[in-house]
Amino acid sequence: MKKIEPDRKRLSERNIVRILLKPLSFLYGLVTTLRNRLYDNRMLRSESTSQFSIVVGNLTVGGTGKTPLVEYLIRTLGQQNGIVTLSRGYGRESRGFMMASPDSTAADIGDEPLQYYQKFGQKIPVAVCENRVEGSRLLEEYFPAHKLLLLDDAFQHRALRPDVAILLNDFNRPFYQDDPFPGGRLREGRSGAERADAIITTKCPPDLSAKAKESIRQSIAKYAAPGTPCFFAGVRYGAMRSFDDTDVPARSVVLVTGIAQPQPLQQYVAEKFGLDQHIRFPDHHGYTEADVAEMLKSLKNDQIILTTEKDKVKLRPLAAEINATSRFCYIPIEVEFGDETEAFREWLRVSVVQPLQARPVMD
């Protein structure tokens, strides 16, 4: 009981704050709804792209699993289709259009685009630009043979009109139970789900029952367009890998995260390896030399620092400067659709591959 009471107290306090902020959430939701209606009625300009475009996004702020899904789409669609990826580059210190290169840092292009580049940069171009329309035009100019544009976190970027929009719904924080800012975590009202061509509930437990799935579908259907397909996906954690990409034997670890929702990873690590400590930073945290020094101070002789792929791209250069990469490792994370794998891939074939192949070739 002693462990539960503080959680109940915090939950009660959050509910009180949420109630007090309800009027402001209503106003924020109203503003975003009006903005969407202006785009829907063509009173604000929205442009399509020369490439066949797929948007991956969410209504809920942070941590819904966009990055693993983007990587899944790259692996699934990239074999037969020329893909380019375009992100905003959240957290970068630069502005405007930039292409990822071997010299790029997270400060240049953002941590998630840098992760895409380090994993797939030999096969696909990776770019960032706040203005997705401008970015798509430049990518078309630079890579005319690449006809599939994958846009990360652009669901609310209404100036661009995608061919396919995939909306992610966090199983642990479903959008249909949440409110807009500031009382809730939604970027816009729940009705924004009606723009989605497919909705994926992410981070599902492996034993999610058919009855539970149907309940979620019914909740989503209140806000989505009629007939919108709903899929369910979980998370698959890989084996621990060193910063130099060699296998690391399982051992007790100090977990370091700078992601929005680290709780599932924390639970997995505690059960799988043994967790001595969790050092938690804000999402997209810009690590410093002092951060790394403080992490290393907390280590015992046989311990290793475990982090995420997104954190790795920022921590590795700092660790390399002091010859400490051997004290760090990361754990890969992938999305998996389980028994819905074939259904989702069939949806991709019908909704993406066939229309892409049927699109006329422009001279």
Structure-token pair, residue 234:
């979980």
User: Is there a binding annotation on residue 63?
Assistant: yes
Which residues on adjacent β-strands are paired with residue 47? Answer: 160
Q: How far is CA 361 from CA 51, 52, 135, 357, 358, in A?
A: 10, 12, 21, 9, 9
DSSP state of 360: P
Contacts of 113 (CB under 8 A, 6+ apart): 85, 87, 89, 100, 126, 127, 128, 152
User: Is there a binding annotation on residue 91?
Assistant: no
Cα 298 to Cα 254: distance, rounded to the nearest angstrom: 8
Cα 316 to Cα 327: distance, rounded to the nearest angstrom: 11
| Residue 121, CB-side half-sphere exposure with 13 Å CA sphere | 16
Cα 107 to Cα 59: distance, rounded to the nearest angstrom: 26
Structure-token pair, residue 53:
């475009």
List b or e across 168-201, with b for residues whose CB sees 16 or more CB atoms inside 10 angstroms. bbbbebbbbebbbbebbbbbbbbbbbebbbbbbb
User: Is there a binding annotation on residue 183?
Assistant: no
Phi and psi of 35, rounded to 5°?
-60, -45
User: Is there a binding annotation on residue 29?
Assistant: no
Q: Position of tokens 């002693």?
A: 2
User: Is there a binding annotation on residue 60?
Assistant: yes
DSSP state of 358: H
Structure-token pair, residue 114:
């840098």
Question: H or E stretch including 166?
Answer: strand 164-170
Q: How far is CA 127 from CA 27, 81, 117, 158, 291, in A?
A: 35, 17, 9, 19, 29
User: Is there a binding annotation on residue 338?
Assistant: no
Which residues contribute to the annotated binding site for ATP?
Answer: 60-67
Which residues contribute to the annotated binding site?
Answer: 60-67
